[in-house]
Structure 1
Amino acid sequence: MDINTLHKPPIVFKQMTWSERLIVFCGVGFGSGLAPKAPGTFGSAFALLFIPLWLTLGFYASVVAILIMSLVGIWICGKTAEIIHVHDDGRIVWDEFAGQSITFLPLIYLGQMNWLWALIGFALFRLFDVWKPWPIRVIDRRVDGGFGIMFDDIIAGFWAALCILIYFYFK
């Protein structure tokens, strides 16, 4: 367990109202963010389960669904942080759901989605989410609230998607 995890208060669902429990349950990625180590990685891995949904919806409907997921996520992440009293807590992984999903949009559009590309997309998203190159690092440090929690992962998703697009362009 890393030092940051030791200083975070435990999430006590018993002390919450039912609506707060539902919000936090969504914010922690339906429980995937409660993994004792690497909650962001577990949340991103859980987001792989959305791939069949994105394939069923198709590209344009997936873009709309991911946009809605991101907009709702701003509220969910902000409210979860408020309820558990920790800003951008690592256990909040709804933002990983949106960012990881954005990564797969080029693959859906190009009809190239398969499990190898799902793993490559997963790895690229995690790389950018952990490494936090410009402008992700700036956003992560300077933007507060639910928007700040969501936006750095959305940008990481776009960076990963851009890498995939560049590969297929120059292939």
Structure 2
Amino acid sequence: MPSRSPLDTFATALATLGPIGHFPKAPGTWGSLASIIAAPWLFLSMPLWWRILVLAAILAVGTWACDRAEKVYEKKDPGCVVVDELFGQWLTLLFFPGLSVLYLGLAFALFRLFDIFKPWPVKWAETAFPGGLGVMIDDGVAGLYAMGCLHAVAALIG
């Protein structure tokens, strides 16, 4: 691996959410779990317009960080990069302030399901967009699928 500049170190720390992306097994699952655990305090407690701004910022900064991380790790969508899980998981929760633990668990499971199995257009989005944007967008599409399912469950249960 080539030597890293301070900016590369910062970008990879953002892309991996610090140590979370370096956990030895299933870093994407750990990234999603950390995102779900943090969501009630760092995301869902905000008004909707702030949550939208936060997601836009995560998308922008995450795209940059993922792009740099791909160059540093010399690999397309390195497994240790998990900022995309943060984006997709929080997108799943966008319209659900104050969720119970049951709904948070369901949001986690649904997002992981769509992120892992990548039904169309999730897989397409990953390859249709270059670099870090493709890394982020596929998790965004998986998050939209999970959001739709979560809304359906909420409508059925009440």
Q: TM-score, normalised by structure 1?
A: 0.84
Q: Is the 8 A contact 1:106 1:164 kept in 2?
A: no
User: Of 30, 49, 66, which aligns to 1:60?
Assistant: 49
Q: Is the 8 A contact 2:125 2:141 kept in 1?
A: no
1:97 aligns with 2:86: yes
Q: Quote the offset at 1:142 in angstroms.
A: 3.8
SS at match of 1:107: coil
1:86 aligns with 2:63: no
1:148 aligns with 2:134: yes
Identity %: 31
Q: Which residue of 1 aligns with 2:22?
A: 34
Compare 60-69 and 135-144 and name the one that shifted more: 135-144
User: Of 65, 83, 93, which aligns to 1:76?
Assistant: 65
1:17 aligns with 2:8: no
Structure 2 Cα separation of the partners of residues 54 and 165 of structure 1? 18
Q: Quote the offset at 1:55 in angstroms.
A: 2.6
Structure 1 Cα separation of the partners of residues 45 and 125 of structure 2? 33
SS at match of 1:106: coil
Structure 1 counterpart of 2:43, one-letter code = W
Structure 1 Cα separation of the partners of residues 71 and 40 of structure 2? 30
Q: Which residue of 2 aligns with 1:4?
A: none
Deviation per CA, 1:19-72, whole angstroms, max 9, x where unpaired?
211111111111211111101001111112133122321222111111211122
* Aligned alpha-carbon RMSD (Å): 1.6
SS at match of 2:103: helix
Structure 1 Cα separation of the partners of residues 7 and 121 of structure 2? 34
Structure 1 Cα separation of the partners of residues 80 and 135 of structure 2? 12
Which blocks of at least 5 consecutive residues in structure 1 are unaligned? 1-8
Q: TM-score, normalised by structure 2?
A: 0.91
Q: Quote the offset at 1:106 in angstroms.
A: 2.6
Runs ≥4 residues deviating over 6 A: none
Structure 2 Cα separation of the partners of residues 43 and 16 of structure 1? 23
Q: Which residue of 2 aligns with 1:121?
A: 107
